[in-house]
Each structure stands twice: as structure tokens, then as C-alpha cells.
Amino acid sequence: MLGEPAAPASRSPRTLRRILVVQQLSALSRFLLLGRGPGGTAASAGRDARIDVIRGLALLVIFINHMPGNVIAAWMPHNFGFSDGADAFVLLAGVSATLAYGNLIERQGLTVGALKIGARLWTLYIAHLALFIVVCGVVAAAVTRTQNPLYIEAINIQPFFSDTLAALIDVLTLRYQPAYLDILPLYIVLLGLFPLLYLAVRLSPLGAVLLSLGIWQSALWLGLNFPNVHGAGWFFNPFAWQLVFTLGVVIGRAIQGGLELPRLRWLDALALGYVLFAVFAKTATGNPTGIAALNDWFDSVQLGSDKTNLAWSRVLHVLALAWLAMRFLPAGAGLLRFAAGRVLAIVGRHSLDVFCAGTVLSIAGQIVMAETGFAVGPQLLVCLIGVTILVGLGMFLTWYQSLTIAAGRSAAPSRQASPQSH
């Protein structure tokens, strides 16, 4: 919270609000230019439940979206806005990395932080490889049982079966990414860049964002992307998506430094207006305005949300949603008062495990829905079972984690008393 001097009793509430807004704007300006929070240095921030809740929701949305053609997917957020679960996931990855590794860097230095990040990168890399093998196994079992080779082509894993050794080498080098297995490689690259991004944001958040914007636009102009042996490039172009991650690092740094957002009603209205415009543009069909000249423009807006190279419409949309979330969602444990919030937070705390399980379940779900002729009943059942399994996985991991922590605490006194511990 921002401190302020005691005000004379004669000042009106409107005047006091204006003073507070001026102070908040001053703190925000100082942060954007110099990377300093209200106290001048970064503060240690506790776990923000909003991050876990939104990330949990994003993971469940990604699971549903990875089964195209089901009736529930038609009601997912990407149908009502320019961004989707992937944008939120990458933004929150930047926030979470800052609160975890940024605080570690502040406490123990860059070397320790880099070593911890390296260990996490290895975990992500192994998870990606394991996920690839499991997915190939699921598809192979489905093809064997149904005698339908189209399932192999549906997610682009035919190279694994036609030339297994070459495909494995390409997977090991991240140059081969079948459909739905492209988010983890992106996260590996972005997290690997985190120490440099964090130092840049710590020096000047505004400067880091401007540099990130320059890299994004230069990559678009030059046609830069990471190589993909079976495509034009990575589906999630790291040169573009680093912008969303960088914005997440900036937000995380602001939370880390205890920055309080100014209450700017005009900016709230602008963010809400853009979100509503996105809903209108994505759902508009035919001639929604009665002005024929606008038809082509609405069509271009709907089709212009390029995901690979991160269209401007997506960036502005995820920023608008982030602003509204930070302004109006209760911080701390406010969201955990509701059962849905607690469940989503549990899912969000175990993002890697839930994401990997969700990917496997979504591919299995696609096969089940195809084999049942995309009937509505099986669609709903597949979605319900999948969400239940993912929530159950989160609850199990939380319970197991609590046992591990409790065991560690109970063992600590005995270790201290044992001569072998020395």
C-alpha cells in the first residue's frame, strides 16, 4: 500500500482521492522508468491466489479447446475474444516466474536463480519428451484398435512412425512439434531467457517492453521463427510470444514491488470497451451494424487474430483482461472463499502435471468423440470425465505435497538430535 501524509480535515473526499491517484501515478511512473516499487526496492510478495485461479481456468480451457468440434468448446473464451487460454498461460508464466525466481535472485543472487531455472528447464524438457512418447502410444493404440490411420495424421505424428529415429532426434532438438505439443517448447525457450528478461525489467520495465516490441515487430518484418522440420516454423513463434511473457514479467515485478494500480476510471472503461468490442467482433455475422461497408472490416478483425505471430488484437485483448483482473478481482485469498475458486487454484498450482495430463486426455477425447460420431452425449461425457480427472489430479498432488511437507517437518527434530545428521 502506498503511504501518504496525514491530510487536513478540511480536504474533501474528492480531493483526497485525487491526491491518492496522483501518488499512485507517480509510483507507477517511477516503476516503469526505473523498476522501483513504492518503497524503492522490490518487496517479497506472497502467493497471489488470482494467479493460481486464472491459470487453473486457463488449463481447463486449453483442455476443452484441444478437442475441437465439441459443443462445450463453442462456449470457450476464444469464441468471444481475440486471445485465448494460451495467451493467459504465457502471461501468467511470466508473472509466476518473476514471483518465484525473481524473488530468489533478489535474495540469493543471479547464479543461484539461474541454477534453479536450469533445473526447472530440465524438468520441462523431460516432461515434453515423455509427453510426446505417451501421445504417440495413445494414438498407436487407437489406430491398432480402430484400423483408422487418419488419427496419426490428425496431430502430425506420422513422421514418428515412418522414420522413428529421425523423428526422435528432431524431437530432442525441439525441431519437431506435433499438434498440441508446442506450448512446452515455447515455455522452455522463454524460461531460459528469464534471467536476462528479469535483469532488463529490473533496470527499466518500460525499456524492456520497448525492446520486446522491437524484437516482435522486427521478427514479423524479417519473417523470423524457430525452425520446424515439418512446417514453416514453430506454431508459437518465440520471437513474437516473448512479448506476452515479458509483459507478464513486468506485471510480476510490479506485484513483487508492492505497486498499487491507480484507479483510472477512463482506463477501466477503455479496457472493458475493448473486451466488449472483441465479443461483438467475434460473434458478429452477416451485417451486424447495418452498414455494408463495415462487413469486410468485421471479417478482417475476426480473421486477423494471428496466433503464430501474435497479432496486435491478441496483445491488446490479453492486456485489457489483465488490467481488469488486477483492478477488480480480490487480491490475497478473496477468490478462495468460493468453492470454484478453491478448485481452480488447486489445478493452477500444479500447472505442468495438469497440462501434460490434459494434453493426453484431450487427444484420447478426440478419438472417442470421432468414434462415436460426435454425438452430443459422448462429447459432454468426455469433457466432464476429463475435467474431473484433471481436478482430481490437482487434489491428489496437493494432498501428496502436504504429506511430504508434514514428513519433512516431523523428521527435522530427529535429524537435529541424531549424531548421523552431522
Residue 299 is predicted with a pLDDT of: 64
Confidence band, pLDDT 50/70/90 cuts, at residue 329: confident
Domain ranges of the chain: 42-404
Confidence band, pLDDT 50/70/90 cuts, at residue 148: confident
| Mean of pLDDT values over 20-37 | 75
Residue 98 is predicted with a pLDDT of: 94
Nearest to 118 by CA among 213, 14, 193: 193
SS3 363: helix
| Mean of pLDDT values over 53-62 | 94
Query: How far is 97 from 103, CA to CA, in rounded Å?
Result: 9
Residue 152 is predicted with a pLDDT of: 87
Query: How far is 392 from 29, CA to CA, in rounded Å?
Result: 44
This model's pTM is above 0.85: yes
Query: How far is 260 from 327, CA to CA, in rounded Å?
Result: 9
Query: How far is 104 from 155, CA to CA, in rounded Å?
Result: 39
Residue 290 reports pLDDT greater than 60 = no
Confidence band, pLDDT 50/70/90 cuts, at residue 11: low
Query: Residue 157 phi/psi, 5° resolution?
Result: -115, 15
Of 39-53, 143-157, 162-176, the one with minimum mean pLDDT is: 39-53
Q: Is 203 or 292 the better-scoring residue by pLDDT?
A: 203
Q: Is 118 or 11 the better-scoring residue by pLDDT?
A: 118
| Mean of pLDDT values over 399-412 | 74
Residue 418 is predicted with a pLDDT of: 46
Residue 267 is predicted with a pLDDT of: 92
Cell numbers that stand for 207 in this block:
525499456
Cell numbers that stand for 121 in this block:
528447464
174: Cβ contacts below 8 Å, ≥ 6 apart: 128, 185, 188, 226
Residue 159 is predicted with a pLDDT of: 87
Residue 377 is predicted with a pLDDT of: 93
Would you mind telling me the total number of residues written for the chain in this entry?
422
The model's pLDDT over 67-114, given as tens digits with 9 standing for 90+, comes to: 988 899 989 988 888 999 999 999 999 999 999 999 899 999 999 999
| Mean of pLDDT values over 270-284 | 88
Q: Is 363 or 17 the better-scoring residue by pLDDT?
A: 363
Residue 39 reports pLDDT greater than 60 = no
The model's pLDDT over 153-204, given as tens digits with 9 standing for 90+, comes to: 888 888 888 888 998 999 999 999 888 899 999 999 999 999 999 999 999 9
The model's pLDDT over 295-326, given as tens digits with 9 standing for 90+, comes to: 666 666 666 678 999 999 999 999 999 999 98
The model's pLDDT over 373-384, given as tens digits with 9 standing for 90+, comes to: 889 999 999 999
Residue 28 is predicted with a pLDDT of: 76
Residue 41 is predicted with a pLDDT of: 45
Cell numbers that stand for 22 in this block:
496522483
Cell numbers that stand for 105 in this block:
535472485
Give percent of the chain above pLDDT 90: 55
Residue 420 reports pLDDT greater than 70 = no
Confidence band, pLDDT 50/70/90 cuts, at residue 421: very low
Confidence band, pLDDT 50/70/90 cuts, at residue 419: very low
Average pLDDT of the chain to the nearest whole number: 85
Residue 293 is predicted with a pLDDT of: 58
Which residue bears the cell 469433457? Answer: 383
Q: How far apart are the first and last CA of the chain?
A: 45
| Mean of pLDDT values over 50-66 | 94
| Mean of pLDDT values over 405-411 | 67
In this structure, the number of other CB atoms found within 10 A of the CB of residue 304 comes to: 14
Between the CA of residue 44 and those of 51, 115, 134, what are the distances in Å? Answer: 16, 20, 39
